[in-house]
């Protein structure tokens, strides 16, 4: 059985690891594919130190992003209910529905904060009333805001 080779990845490789990870692979896989394609290089003591330093920098960067998301969450939740005007029919039923794009624009107009519409989760809104929407600001931070649907 051939021994394994340690590599530090330059790029993300599916089913193997992300850039900066130290992985053990078969010597042929390293020699014939990963190294020639520029996806990884042999792990030496100096390179292992560099990889560890990069991992620490990335961890600190992610921590900073999470703290910024916490601040944005507090600001969004304190902004109060966001009011959406819709045409209504019988029994307070609205025509159409409230979309993620409408909510994102409403938040931007009210608070000047950019919110990705793909990170907004709305309940099914069919009539006027108050609803809770979840906005994903970070992988670990989700803000919950009130959406009030009123007749136009």
Residue identified by tokens 């990069």 is 54
Residue 50 has pLDDT above 90, yes or no: no
How many angstroms separate the CA atoms of 67 and 62, rounded? 9
Q: Tell me, what's the pLDDT at 51?
A: 84
Q: List pLDDT tens digits, range 67-109.
A: 999 999 999 888 878 999 999 988 888 988 899 999 999 999 9
Confidence band of 55 (pLDDT split at 50, 70, 90): confident
DSSP per-residue string spanning the chain? -PPPEEEEESS-BTTTB-TT-EEEE-HHHIIIIITTTTSEEE--HHHHHHHHHHHHHHHHHHHHHHHHHHHHHHHHHHT-PEEEEE-B-GGGBBSS---HHHHHHHHHHHH-----GGGEE-----BSEEEEEEEEEETTEEEEEEEEEEE-
The CB density around residue 20, as the number of other CB atoms within 10 Å, is: 18
Taking the whole predicted model, whether its pTM rises above 0.75 is answered as no
Q: Residue 36 — very low, low, confident or very high, per pLDDT cuts 50/70/90?
A: very high
Q: Over the chain, what is the mean pLDDT?
A: 90
Q: How many residues does the chain have?
A: 152
> In this predicted model, what pLDDT tens digit does every residue of 126-151 receive, in sequence order?
899 999 999 999 889 999 999 999 99
pLDDT band at 1 (very low <50, low <70, confident <90, very high): low
| Pair 8, 47: CB distance under 8 Å | yes
CB–CB of 144/85 below 8 Å?
Answer: no
Percentage, residues of the chain above pLDDT 90: 55
């Amino acid at each position: 059985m051939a021994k394994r080779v340690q590599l530090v990845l330059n790029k993300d490789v599916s089913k193997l690891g992300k850039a900066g990870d130290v992985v053990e692979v078969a010597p042929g896989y390293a020699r014939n594919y990963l190294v020639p394609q520029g996806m990884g290089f042999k792990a030496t003591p100096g390179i292992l130190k560099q990889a560890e330093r990069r991992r620490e920098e990335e961890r600190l960067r992610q921590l900073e992003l999470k703290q910024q998301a916490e601040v944005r969450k507090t600001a969004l939740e304190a902004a109060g209910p966001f009011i959406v005007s819709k045409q209504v029919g019988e029994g307070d039923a609205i025509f159409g529905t409230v979309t993620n794009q409408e909510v994102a624009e409403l938040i931007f107009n009210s608070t000047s904060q950019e919110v990705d519409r793909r990170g907004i989760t709305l309940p099914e809104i069919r009539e006027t009333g108050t609803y809770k929407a979840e906005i994903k600001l970070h992988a670990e931070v989700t803000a919950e805001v009130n959406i009030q649907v009123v007749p136009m």
